[in-house]
Amino acid sequence: MAELPPTGSTVLLRLRTWSGEIEEQGIIMPPAAANHVTMKLVNGYNISHPSEAILGCEVLAKPESATTPSSSGKPAKQKEDLPRVRIIHTGGTIASKVDYATGAVVARFEPEELLASIPELSKVARIDAVKIGNMWSDDMRPQHWNTIAKASADAFADGVAGVVVTHGTDTLAISACALSFSWAGAGNCPPGRIVFTGSQRSSDRGSSDANENLLASVYWAANGPSPNGGLGDSTVVMLHSSADDGEIAVLPGCSARKLHSTRRDAFQAINSTPLGHVHLARGGISHTLSDEYANVLANTPSRGQAPPTDFSENIRIGQLISGAHLHADMVNATAAAGYSALVIHGTGLGHLPIENPNANAPENEELGQAIGAVIKGGMPVVIANQCIHGPVNMNVYSKGRIQQELGILGQANNSSPEAVIVKCHWSLSQGRNLSQDMMQNLVGENPSSIKE
């Protein structure tokens, strides 16, 4: 085997394969497994070959000193003239590897490994990373939102230009929404850019979207426009805008949602549009803003700044789904268990099965009676839209008007279901008037007009 140069070197490898000798050009990365060499190809994909398959190695470019790992495994001194960005590491697929012994994906990618694997980061920002967890996002709870909010506040107090939160994608949009309310729900704005990013495929897979997502996110955190609270820019969600490489969407953190379990472009803005895009090309990195967002930045005064607010860990929000299997005892059980509020994902414009026109479904009437009773007993009931896109409008049909007479909240809500739940939790945590907050657009989660 030919001796390999340091991580970050650009090389031309001559390799022995089953189909004969081949040549591959790319950047040397930390190996994905023992006795293997891993490198990132020019097209952005990662490949790994057994070390014994290497016949020759030509060094085309040495690694930049800013990204050459030190003996401790941490990046060496970085360029002092670049903006500072802090990566807050929580875990998830972007911070995971394939365990080649079992084939399973495990969360064990340390922040230092993330930095060492993407040499281009050295040209964008001075990076430091803090690890506040290494967990799958489906294990996230409100206490973890508070931890992320505090870590972001500590980062800004330390003088960074922006923050990138690496997070598992399954609940990434929920955490981004939570930090939107934490920082901006009371009418304020964070002092810098907060980006949530993740990946659909682990960082050492050939088809991984992790490198481009992280690189674009660090670029935005370092160079994007300063948030002013307009269009939900207090936090943003950044992942691929399509299945192809090269373009990363910048979505409002309060209205993004994961809509596909495996695609790289799984995230979309609900009832709103992207704020912009980051473009990754061989010539460099750039960004464009939507016309609407550029206009808001130019013509809307920035909000004031204040420390983030916390989510009470004592508040619990129950969730039920409207449909043929929603019954009164489920509502009663939620109230009896001491939940702080109940969010029901309604059908269509936000409807529930509470009428009995054919006189053969008494359970519908029982459901309506149970909802009315728990509301009178002091538990708020809020309707979200299980259609995802589109509004809640309980003024169109008589059923909706009956629901409003029962005291159900959520009329004219254009928020995603997740934003409704987060908003409900945040409002109750702050001791605010939930009925009034549900009708407001606090952080961009409830735009007055729906955009396709």
Whether the CB-CB separation of 178 and 87 falls below 8 Å is answered with no
The residues that are catalytic are 93, 169-170, 258
Alpha-carbon torsion angle 177, 178, 181, 184, nearest 10:
-80
Burial of 395 (0-12, 13-18, 19+ CB in 10 A): exposed
C-alpha–C-alpha distance, residues 433 and 344, integer Å? 19
C-alpha–C-alpha distance, residues 333 and 315, integer Å? 16
What residues does 84 pair with on adjacent strands?
A: 126
Taking alpha carbons only, the member of 235, 242, 226 closest to residue 172 is 235
Alpha helices (H) in 52-130, listed in sequence order: 111-117
DSSP-based three-state secondary structure for 448? coil
Inter-CA distances, 206 with 9, 32, 203, 446, Å: 19, 11, 8, 39
The CB density around residue 170, as the number of other CB atoms within 10 Å, is 18
C-alpha–C-alpha distance, residues 135 and 438, integer Å? 31
* Helix or strand run (H / E) with residue 38: strand 36-41
